[in-house]
Amino acid sequence: MQSEAKDDLVREQAFSVAERNVIYHAIETRRDVRDQFLPDPLPDDLIARLLGAAHHAPSVGFMQPWNFILVRDATLRQRAFEAFERANEEAALQFDGARQDSYRALKLEGIRKAPLSICITCDPDRAGPVVLGRTHNPRMDAYSTVCAVQNLWLAARAEGVGVGWVSIFHDADLRALLGIPERIEIIAWLCLGFVDQLYGEPELAVRGWRQRLPLQDLIFQDGWGQQRR
């Protein structure tokens, strides 16, 4: 009887098939949006839902190290774009020949086009000097903040909002732009807005930059490099 009761509890906690399919659909159709943004502002209640989803992310030691800087001001976004442009030119020079040409042809940000940017940061001191679960891996606070990014991204997909993660910046440029203290780690600059379309596959795959790797090639069993039997 006890086993049957436990099985019933497990079944009650599981999602229905329809609910489960929605979760996987959001994961599989999430895209990094760069050039499909519409100028329409996002409603405040929608933004609040996205931030609430981010704030419900798992965090090591329940430290909740994230902060969210909302950037709507067009002048600030223009300056962020200029910082991106400088870093992007440096990045382009790291590729050779045809690869550099392909890189330059890519649209890698939507800072000016998206109506909202969010800079997500990590405060390593949020829970004090000794944090449960971070005692042997000091990067766990940053990893926790990345979970908040993913939560926001999936919630945005469900809301029909496009998100683009811009990573090509010099850290110092964003610190100066937004007055971020040195002790605070910058995790992500996200561009958000409604979109006119979403790619059926990741844009970099569509444009031939890279393709999705076969999952079976990435799975080991009981040790590094040991293929499943």
Which residues, in sequence order, are CB contacts of 200 under 8 Å at separation 6+?
206
Question: Do 34 and 164 touch, CB atoms closer than 8 A?
Answer: yes
Q: Which residues contact 149 (CB under 8 A, 6 or more apart)?
A: 54, 120, 165, 187, 188, 190
Phi, psi of 32, rounded to the nearest 5 degrees? -90, 105
The pair of three-digit structure tokens given for residue 27, joined into one six-digit string: 């994961």
| Residues 180, 181, 185: CA angle, nearest 5 degrees | 80
Block residue for tokens 């329409």: 40
pTM: 0.93
Could you tell me the end-to-end alpha-carbon distance of the chain, in angstroms, rounded to an integer? 37
How is the beta sheet containing 66-71 ordered, strand by strand? 66-71, 116-122, 185-194, 161-166
Domains of the chain plus CATH, in order, are: 32-211 (3.40.109.10)
Tokens 């090591």, residue?
Answer: 60
**Per-residue confidence in pLDDT tens, the chain, 229 aa:** 566 656 665 678 899 999 999 999 999 999 999 999 999 999 999 999 999 999 999 999 999 999 999 999 999 999 999 999 999 999 999 999 999 999 999 999 999 999 999 999 999 999 999 999 999 999 999 999 999 999 999 999 999 999 999 999 999 999 999 999 999 999 999 999 999 999 999 999 999 999 999 999 999 999 999 987 7
Which two three-digit tokens encode residue 24? 């996987």
CA-wise closest residue to 81 among 43, 99, 44, 107: 107
